[in-house]
């Protein structure tokens, strides 16, 4: 009897254990899954809010880039700019940059991108989306790079709908840093530098930023599509073949006789610097000490026992405790004072340079008006082209006064010298045509400056408002319908722009 009971218990236990085995395996699988890097679905990766569940802190901090909602109208602050960029989009509208969350919306809001009425109209090529969204690499992958770079900006309005986010810098399976814009690797190769995959982790912490925060231009590139039709792509290209300094790139553009536009007032074949932040940063002391962009702009942050990179990219002056203090021993106030001195010095030379460049354009316009020939103005225009390029290169990346204060000041000094060289020659030309005492008209406020630059502001705003009320809304609805956009992610992205501000003020 005893044996029977013992045997029964044993059988029951074995049975129970057998029943439990799959459960134990399931727990082990669960444990492994928990430890593994989560995978964001390929089809959803452009939508940063899909990453939130796995990376709530990184996502949350990225989302906070919405806090930089204020608009600073740079044309109000520096009216000279409207003169410097006459005939080019930037003379219409140019605001200080806001956070990554606004990158795409601000691109659609700016008067520079105009007011298309369908996918084939508007002033800009597709290339203008290139730095605004993780939908860009998606379209490059889907359509092929040359097709992506062909056609009008409006062509992708219903596809490119998520602002710069997770998938711009991270692999959705491994979460490793990655670049998805092929033009960076081509630039690195042209410069004789290691490609992204051959770079160190610390270099990658800057290179992901260098996908966009660099100098580039839209290189006209003829190609044939599958049907054998002739197409012209405008391909984002980094002019790094001769090196990374302002003079290296100037030489590159000069050799190619490239121009971004012909200046409306002075008739000069102009160059527009984009934002060569990565290049100029390397000439400064932080760059030379191997500091990466992320070290200061994405400082490590502790929350309880968790440490993560802050994805609220912003001025490190707002995160000095985490950005500066790990290395520096001075007090924050003292460091801030030193940084402000750098800014003051830069502004001093920048102001001089912009004024003189603006005068050079206006004086050239007058010379043309009273009969000066292209031959008489050849050298003048060369000085203007080089002066404005050096000025723009030195300050267009905004933080250069801090990233590379000495190189910035050197370039501003050189830019101003070019402007003044042009102006010395201009007095001679003007004198020969009977106007030795010509004084450039007043450009000390935005209204005057834009009027001199021939910007039909009211018309541009009206057209843009119509675009925003119609085509832009259609784009978003279509994208949402196709599953390319979670409409909820648009909450909080305010629609402010400088011309709305102006309306409010008036």
Among residues 69 and 286, whose Cβ is nearest to its own copies?
A: 286
CA distances from 113 to 126, 195, 329 (A): 10, 32, 46
Shortest reach from residue 353's CB to its own copies, in Å: 8
CB-nearer residue toward its own copies: 44 or 432: 432
- Taking the least distance from each CB to its own copies, the nearer of 436 and 483 is 436
Total residues contacting its own copies by CB under 8 A comes to 34
Which of 99, 239, 269, 405 is the binder for its own copies (CB under 8 A)? Answer: 405
HSE-CB of 498 using CA atoms within 13 angstroms: 22
Q: Which of 133, 416 has the CB closer to its own copies?
A: 416
Beta carbon of residue 334, minimum distance to its own copies (angstroms, whole number): 8
Both structure tokens of 416: 């101003």
d(CA 80, CA 189): 37
Question: What would the two tokens of residue 106 be?
Answer: 């601000």
The only residue of 76, 407, 472, 496 in contact with its own copies, by rule CB under 8 A = 407
Among 348, 444, 466, 495, binds its own copies (CB under 8 A): 348
Question: Would you count residue 343 as binding its own copies (CB under 8 A)?
Answer: no
Answer for which of 81, 169, 409, 457 binds its own copies (CB under 8 A) is 409
Q: Which of residues 293-332 bind its own copies (CB under 8 A)?
A: 330
Cβ-contact 361, 265 below 8 angstroms = yes
Q: Could you give the string, one character per residue 270-289, with x where binding to its own copies holds by CB under 8 A and - elsewhere?
A: -------------x-x--xx
Q: HSE on the CB side for 137, CA within 13 Å?
A: 24
Alpha-helical runs (H) found in 171-330? 182-190, 201-210, 246-255, 277-281, 285-288, 293-297, 320-323
CA distances from 504 to 315, 457, 496, 497, 501 (A): 28, 16, 11, 11, 5
Q: Cα-flanking dihedrals φ and ψ of residue 309, to 5°?
A: -85, 130
Query: Does 410 engage in binding with its own copies (CB under 8 A)?
Result: yes
**Residue written as tokens 């219409």?**
92
420 binds its own copies per the rule CB under 8 A: yes
Q: Which of 61, 312, 323, 356 binds its own copies (CB under 8 A)?
A: 356
Answer yes or no whether residue 386 interacts with its own copies by CB under 8 A: no
Residues ≥6 apart with Cβ < 8 Å to 30: none
Q: How far is C-alpha 213 from the chain's CA centre?
A: 5
Name the packing angle between helices 182-190 and 201-210 (round to 10°): 110
Which residue of 256, 378, 428, 459 would you call a contact of its own copies, by CB under 8 A?
428
d(CA 266, CA 378): 11
Q: Which among 152-160, 318-326, 422-430, 476-484 is the span making contact with its own copies, rule CB under 8 A?
A: 422-430
Among 338, 370, 477, 487, binds its own copies (CB under 8 A): 338
Q: Using CB under 8 A as the criterion, which residues of the chain lie in contact with its own copies when the complex forms?
A: 283, 285, 288-289, 330, 334, 338, 341-342, 345, 348-349, 352, 356, 405-407, 409-410, 412-414, 416-417, 420-421, 423-424, 427-428, 431-432, 436-437
């Amino acid at each position: 009897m005893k044996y029977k009971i013992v045997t029964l218990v044993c059988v029951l236990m074995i049975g129970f254990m057998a029943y439990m085995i799959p459960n134990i395996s399931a727990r082990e699988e669960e444990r492994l899954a928990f430890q593994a890097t989560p995978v964001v679905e390929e089809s959803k990766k452009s939508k940063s809010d899909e990453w939130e569940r796995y990376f709530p802190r990184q996502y949350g901090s990225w989302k906070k880039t919405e806090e930089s909602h204020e608009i600073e109208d740079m044309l109000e602050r520096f009216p000279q700019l409207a003169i410097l960029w006459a005939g080019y989009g930037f003379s219409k509208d140019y605001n200080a940059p806001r956070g990554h969350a606004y990158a795409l919306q601000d691109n659609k809001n700016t008067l520079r991108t105009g007011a298309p009425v369908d996918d084939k109209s508007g002033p800009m090529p597709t290339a203008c989306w290139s730095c605004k969204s993780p939908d860009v690499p998606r379209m490059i992958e889907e359509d092929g790079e040359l097709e992506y770079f062909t056609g009008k900006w409006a062509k992708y309005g219903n596809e490119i709908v998520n602002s710069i986010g997770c998938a711009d810098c991270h692999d959705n399976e491994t979460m490793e840093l990655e670049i998805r814009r092929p033009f960076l690797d081509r630039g690195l190769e042209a410069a004789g530098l290691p490609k992204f995959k051959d770079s160190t982790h610390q270099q990658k912490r800057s290179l992901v930023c260098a996908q966009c925060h660099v100098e580039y231009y839209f290189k006209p590139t003829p190609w044939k599509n599958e049907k054998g039709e002739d197409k012209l792509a405008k391909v984002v290209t980094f002019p790094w073949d001769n090196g990374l300094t302002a003079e290296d790139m100037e030489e590159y553009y000069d050799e190619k006789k490239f121009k971004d536009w012909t200046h409306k007032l002075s008739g000069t074949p102009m160059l527009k610097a984009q934002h060569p932040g990565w290049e100029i940063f390397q000439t400064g002391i932080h760059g030379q000490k191997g500091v990466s962009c992320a070290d200061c702009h994405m400082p490590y942050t502790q929350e309880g026992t968790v440490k993560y990179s802050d994805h609220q990219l912003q001025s490190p002056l707002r995160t000095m405790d985490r950005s500066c203090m790990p290395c520096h021993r001075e007090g924050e106030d003292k460091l801030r004072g030193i940084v402000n001195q750098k800014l003051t010095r830069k502004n001093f030379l920048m102001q001089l340079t912009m004024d003189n460049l603006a005068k050079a354009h206006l004086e050239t316009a007058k010379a043309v008006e009273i009969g000066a020939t292209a031959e008489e103005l050849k050298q003048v225009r060369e000085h203007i082209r080089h002066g404005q390029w050096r000025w723009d290169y030195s300050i267009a990346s905004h933080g250069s006064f801090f990233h590379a204060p000495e190189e910035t000041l050197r370039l501003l000094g050189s830019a101003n010298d070019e402007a003044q060289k042009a102006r010395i020659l201009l007095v001679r030309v003007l004198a020969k045509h009977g106007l030795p005492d010509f004084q450039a008209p007043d450009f000390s406020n935005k209204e005057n400056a834009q009027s001199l630059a021939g910007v039909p502001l009211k018309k541009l705003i009206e057209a843009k408002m119509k675009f925003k009320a119609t085509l832009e809304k259609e784009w978003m609805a279509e994208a949402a319908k196709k599953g390319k956009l979670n409409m909820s992610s648009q909450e909080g992205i305010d629609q402010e722009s400088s011309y709305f501000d102006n309306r409010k003020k008036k």
